[in-house]
Amino acid sequence: MELKEYTRSQLALRNGSDRHEIWIAYKGMIYDVGSSRLWRNGKHYEHWAGQDLSEELDNDAPHNANVFDKFKIVGKLKS
């Protein structure tokens, strides 16, 4: 099954503030992080949902990319 592509503008709408969807992008993939209690209200420490966090997470995160294994991939970020 081919994943749907979303633009950065479409991703920005899934920031947890006015919809139930809490999505973030990492390395071109879009993840639904809404099931995590750490992402309530679209914020996780200094990170905000609805955006591509690839650079921030690669430079800042205390965990590795395996943290995304537990989240559903909902699409791809359109380049």
Residue-range domain boundaries for the chain: 5-77
67: pLDDT strictly greater than 70: yes
At the second CATH level, the architecture of 5-77 is Roll (3.10)
CB atoms within 10 A of CB 41: 11
Distance of alpha carbon 76 from alpha carbon 31, whole angstroms: 9
User: Residue 47: which H helix or E strand, with range?
Assistant: strand 47-48
pLDDT at 64: 64
Distance of alpha carbon 13 from alpha carbon 65, whole angstroms: 24
17: confidence class by pLDDT, cuts 50, 70, 90: confident
Q: Are 38 and 71 in contact (CB under 8 A)?
A: no
| Reported pTM | 0.88
* CA angle, residues 62, 28, 68, in degrees to nearest 5: 40
